Structure 1
Amino acid sequence: MKKQILQIENVESSEFIPKILSGFKNLLKEQNKSSQDAEILLTREETSKMLSISLVTLWKYTREGILPAFRIGTKVRYKKSDILQALKQMNKF
């Protein structure tokens, strides 16, 4: 994130408050966008491609509880945030 400096000298609150609110709105939009990206549901194919593993290995990881999966009807989905968390756990030394 790019840092910005705001210098305040003899400014009335009617000018100052909108700038502060605008800054907060931008920060909230950025945080909301990043959290939405993490909650994306991926198919088995997308997940295996992301991890560069076969569908059989993905099934094995799911069965062993390494990667949590969600069943929606007959379809299996994986949360992107869960995949990233599992990668962190697997790569701990």
Structure 2
Amino acid sequence: MTKQILQIENTSVEDLRSEILSSVNEALKNYSTQFQSNKNNDTLLTRQETADMLSVSLVTLWKWTKDDIIAAYRIGNRVRYKKGEVIEAMQKMNCFGEEDFSTS
């Protein structure tokens, strides 16, 4: 293991301390935000919860799943959807829809 030496000149202890704390706080805020968004997006939803969230029928949800528009996960004999993936799929559908309308 090699030893690395860092030499700091023309900086007071308080300035260095302040810079370190500021950088650590910013990194923690970024990590916290990223962790929260991942936590919310990994929530598993039932078929009914997903259909309600999208304001569609279970038949429409089944068709979208069958057509690989929305990914579904089987857990035993139950079907679940990841909230983040559902939102992402709807955003992609919305983008395609906007392109179709703009070209007509």
Q: TM-score, normalised by structure 1?
A: 0.79
Partner of 1:15: 18
After superposition, the CA RMSD in angstroms is 1.8
Tell me the residue number matched to 1:50.
Answer: 53
Aligned partner of residue 34 in structure 2, secondary structure: helix
- Counterparts of 1:74 and 1:37 in 2: how far apart (Å)? 24
* Correspondence for 1:83: 86
CA distance in 2 between counterparts of 1:53 and 1:81 reads: 17
- What amino acid maps onto 1:78 in structure 2? Y
Larger proportion of helix: 2
Work out which of the two has the higher radius of gyration on C-alpha atoms and give 1 or 2: 2
Aligned residues: 85
Q: Distance in 1 between matches of 2:89 and 2:33?
A: 24
2:68 is aligned with 1:65: yes
Kindly provide the CA deviation profile for residues 33-90 of structure 1, in whole angstroms up to 9, marking residues without a partner as x.
Answer: 0121111111101100010001111111111222110000011001112211211221
Q: Helix, strand or coil for the counterpart of 1:61?
A: helix
Shift of 1:12: 2.9
Measured after TM superposition, the shift of residue 21 of structure 1 is 0.8
5+ residue gaps in structure 1?
A: 1-8
**Structure 2 unmatched runs, 5+:** 1-10, 100-104
Match of 1:37 in 2: 40
